[in-house]
Amino acid sequence: MSSLIKSVKLARFCLRTYPVLATAIRHHWNEDYKPGLYPRTEEERLKAAERYGLHPSEYKPYQNDGMGYGDYPELPNISGDSKDPFYPWDNPELKRNFNEPLHAEFDLMREDRYNVSAQLRYPMWMQWLQFLGVMFGTFAVYAILENFKMFHPLTPRQYPGDGKVHYTFEPEE
């Protein structure tokens, strides 16, 4: 009798928790977050805009160049550093609001990463010139001074001269 009661309790527990488990598992599948196919018609475009929570006038998918972005929206390049720190964000650590779509390069554009919206202090050609100047300058100094050693490679050999004893265990007189 007790085994029947235990099995009934187990069945009730499974029936009660199955929807919760199924929902928790269902909402973590990668297929749910994959972009769809590139929209070819206006109806597909409107459906994709609704899927990402954007107004149809704001929705513009990435170009269909074979990179695999599909119907994912092309969002403006705004880094976390450039967003207002005093705005009441739903998720202030990432400066995001609930249900806001992520940028395709979100892992690059967070606050602790590269700031894509900032103006460079020096143009890129000058940064490359400085880098190559330091690298080639260091190599040139090394190549020029390679044959001019600043030290003797070995110390001179310490041989006793003229048969003199150069050590003794006797106390000196």
How many Å is the maximal CA-CA distance in the chain?
112
Kindly report which listed range (19-23, 60-64, 151-155) carries the lowest average pLDDT score. Answer: 19-23
- Give the tens place of pLDDT for each residue, 94-149: 899 998 888 888 888 888 888 887 788 899 999 999 999 999 999 999 999 988 87
Q: Is residue 1 part of a domain?
A: yes
The position carrying tokens 């998918």 is 61
Q: What angle do CA 133, 139, 143 make, to 5 degrees?
A: 140
pLDDT in the model for residue 105: 86
Q: Is residue 23 part of a domain?
A: yes
- The amino acid that residue 4 corresponds to is L
Count structural domains, the chain.
1
Domain ranges, residue 8: 1-33
